[in-house]
């Protein structure tokens, strides 16, 4: 990469940091100042503005793993493998936050930290699948058979996401049914300020995903460059 290209990349990264930071700040103002307190649940309902964006981000990250894993198995191009690995790590971080914020929200509302409800259980299974994916990746070298096994796991793991989505509709569940996207439309029955705040929070978390992806992909590229130079050094000596 030429020095000009490096400078351009740094400038792009700085713009992204500022954009994401501003969006997150605006979302926080929306959550704690702008949005009204919900009538039945009270102040605790504000957790929704973190909980849903964390869930969205993790599902989106695992969707990227699914697509990139298919492309890696098809094209055998290491770039797709890098994107899948990076996205899986981010997905696991945010899925962990979903599994932490959910029980904190549930405790005062349901009177229990955890229930073996279909949605909660299928989300826990999703988390376990992608933690296993990362454990498998931690032992694998680039381009090895294990990278292919990880890609298969990344594809199979994603099949749990439709199950998570429909679980509250198919089975009797503690977890509330979808309120944002329903058969009547988007945000019907929701206060417009609540919908706007949730939308803003979702946008901010999506920007955060792209920012984290940029950093995580760069990490894998640096590792590859180091491996390449080490091999070069080994052959030259």
Partner 1 sequence: MDNMGFLFAANAFVWGGIIYYVYTLKQRNRALEKDLDLLKETLSKEG
Instruction: Out of 19, 44, 163, 195, name the contact with partner 1 by CB under 8 A.
Output: 44
The answer to whether 85 contacts partner 1 (rule: CB under 8 A) is no
Is residue 87 within 8 A of residue 134, CB to CB? The reply is: no
| Distance between start and end Cα atoms, the chain | 26
Task: In angstroms, give the least distance from the CB of 161 to partner 1.
Answer: 21
Site for partner 1 in 95-154 (CB under 8 A): 96-97, 100-101, 104-105, 107-108
Q: How far apart are CA 204 and CA 21, in angstroms?
A: 8
**Closer residue to partner 1 in complex, CB, 80/105:** 105
Question: If you count DSSP H runs as helices and E runs as strands, how many of each does the chain have, helices first?
Answer: 7, 2
Q: How far apart are CA 138 and CA 162, in angstroms?
A: 27
**Closer residue to partner 1 in complex, CB, 44/190:** 44
Instruction: Out of 43, 135, 156, 186, name the contact with partner 1 by CB under 8 A.
Output: 43
Task: In angstroms, give the least distance from the CB of 184 to partner 1.
Answer: 29
Left (φ > 0), alpha (ψ -120 to 50) or beta: where does 143 sit? left
Instruction: Out of 27, 35, 54, 153, name the contact with partner 1 by CB under 8 A.
Output: 54
- Residues contacting partner 1: total by CB under 8 A: 33
The answer to whether 47 contacts partner 1 (rule: CB under 8 A) is yes
Q: What is the largest CA-CA distance in the chain?
A: 73
Q: How far apart are CA 212 and CA 90, in angstroms?
A: 7
DSSP string, 65-130: HHHHHHHHHHH--HHHHHHHHHHHHHHHHHHHHHHHHHHHHHHHHHSSS----HHHHHHHHHHHHH
Scanning 73-81, 139-147, 153-161, 222-230 for contacts with partner 1 by CB under 8 A, the matching segment is 222-230
State the residues that interact with partner 1 by CB under 8 A: 42-44, 46-47, 50-51, 54, 93, 96-97, 100-101, 104-105, 107-108, 208, 212, 215-216, 218-219, 222-223, 225-226, 229-230, 232-233, 236-237
């Amino acid at each position: 990469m030429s020095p000009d290209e490096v400078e351009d990349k740094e400038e792009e990264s700085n713009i992204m940091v500022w954009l994401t930071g501003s969006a997150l700040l605006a979302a926080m103002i929306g959550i704690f100042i702008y949005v009204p307190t919900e009538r039945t649940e009270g102040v605790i309902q504000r957790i929704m503005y973190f909980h849903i964006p964390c869930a969205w981000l993790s599902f989106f990250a695992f969707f990227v793993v699914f697509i990139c894993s298919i492309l890696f198995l098809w094209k055998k191009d290491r770039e797709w493998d890098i994107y899948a690995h990076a996205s899986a790590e981010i997905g696991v971080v945010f899925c962990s936050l979903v599994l932490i914020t959910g029980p904190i929200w549930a405790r005062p509302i349901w009177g229990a930290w955890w229930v073996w409800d279909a949605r909660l259980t299928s989300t826990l299974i999703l988390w376990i699948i992608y933690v296993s994916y990362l454990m498998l990746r931690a032992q694998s070298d680039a381009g090895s058979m294990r990278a292919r096994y990880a890609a298969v796991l990344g594809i199979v793991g994603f099949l749990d996401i439709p199950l998570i989505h429909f679980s509250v509709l198919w089975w009797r569940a503690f977890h509330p049914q979808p309120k944002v996207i329903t058969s009547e439309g988007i945000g019907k029955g929701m206060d417009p300020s609540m919908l706007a705040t949730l939308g803003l929070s979702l946008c901010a978390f999506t920007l955060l995903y792209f920012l984290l992806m940029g950093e995580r992909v760069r990490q894998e590229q640096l590792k590859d460059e180091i491996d390449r130079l080490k091999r070069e050094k080994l052959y030259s000596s």
